[in-house]
Amino acid sequence: MFARFTNHEKHNVKKNIALIDFGAGNLYSVHKALEFIGVNSKITKDPSEIEKSDAVVFPGVGAFGAVMSSIKKNNLQEIIIKSAKSKKPFLGICVGMQVLFEMSEENPEEKGLSVFKGKVVKFKKAKKIPHIGWNEIYLTARSDSDEAVPIGIASPEPALSGANVARNDKFYFVHSYYVSPEDKSIIYGETDYDGEKFTSIIKKDNLTAVQFHPEKSGEVGLELLKSFVGSIG
């Protein structure tokens, strides 16, 4: 897989992407990754700016409670919930996926954004926590098959398949908690860590949220971001 994507086609799209800024550690990495594929996203904490955007990227690393309190401090709860429920493309990353749920075992006293029902739980079976490194994703939500398949295989959803993402491609994970949605129909991808299967991608309408870091997943991660950008109308 090493020589597969040596030349990066620049998108140079004039799409208005809002990158929500509440001080997330990976904010700049996501910005730089988008820049690298030719997309100029706008780092913003201004709700009206986010409202006007064509697509929203919601990054996040760190503790659930710290992320939530920073979102609240910046008065961003309402606009994030609104964007996540709107029809515009929305990409949540890592803790930006987790806070879309009601609560987390990490900081039970801090409520999440509750866009989805369910909670964020800690790995139970895994011997080593955090789950750090490169792992596969199995798509679960294919209507034409009950069998889970690795991401990229004839995936019906362009926002995820990314033309150049293939069987056995791995994405970079670093986390100790994962989402457990009540509505299983939003589970789009799953990953196995040390015998514990967890939700690594959720998808509903134009919302996609991933537990891994596309901005740190090398070429396949950039491919995934490209396909997200490609999905913006």
Catalytic residue among 94, 131, 190, 223: 94
Contact 94, 26 (CB under 8 A): yes
97 is a site residue for another protein (CB under 8 A): no
Per the annotation, the verdict on 31 as an active-site residue is no
Q: Rounded to an integer, what distance in angstroms lies between the CA atom of residue 106 and that of residue 67?
A: 12
Question: Helix or strand or coil: residue 55?
Answer: strand
Near another protein by CB under 8 A: residue from 83, 107, 200, 217: 217
Near another protein by CB under 8 A: residue from 140, 213, 224, 228: 213
CB neighbour burial string for 138-175, b if at least 16 within 10 angstroms, e if fewer: bbbbbeeeeeebbbbeebeeebbbbebbbeebbbbbeb
Closer by beta carbon to another protein, 90 or else 171 = 171
158 is a site residue for another protein (CB under 8 A): no
Q: What is the 3-state secondary structure of 152-220?
A: CCCCCCHHHHCCCCCCCCCEEEEECEEEEECCHHHEEEEEEECCEEEEEEEEECCEEEECCCHHHCHHH
164 is a site residue for another protein (CB under 8 A): no
Binding positions for another protein, 181-200, rule CB under 8 A: 192-194
43 is a site residue for another protein (CB under 8 A): no
Q: Could you tell me the smallest distance in angstroms from the CB atom of residue 90 to another protein? A: 21
70 is a site residue for another protein (CB under 8 A): no
Q: Rounded to an integer, what distance in angstroms lies between the CA atom of residue 33 and that of residue 130?
A: 24
Q: Could you tell me the smallest distance in angstroms from the CB atom of residue 182 to another protein? A: 26
Q: Could you tell me the smallest distance in angstroms from the CB atom of residue 130 to another protein? A: 5
119 is a site residue for another protein (CB under 8 A): no
Placement of tokens 């993402």 in the chain: 165
Q: Are strands 118-122 and 149-150 parallel, antiparallel or unpaired?
A: unpaired
44 is a site residue for another protein (CB under 8 A): no
129 is a site residue for another protein (CB under 8 A): yes
Placement of tokens 């064509």 in the chain: 54
Q: Could you tell me the smallest distance in angstroms from the CB atom of residue 140 to another protein? A: 17
Q: Rounded to an integer, what distance in angstroms lies between the CA atom of residue 116 and that of residue 158?
A: 23
Catalytic residue among 131, 175, 213, 223: 213
Residues that bind another protein (CB under 8 A): 1-3, 6, 25-26, 28-29, 32-33, 35-36, 61-63, 127-136, 170, 172, 174-176, 192-194, 213, 215-219, 221-222
Residues labelled catalytic: 94, 213, 215
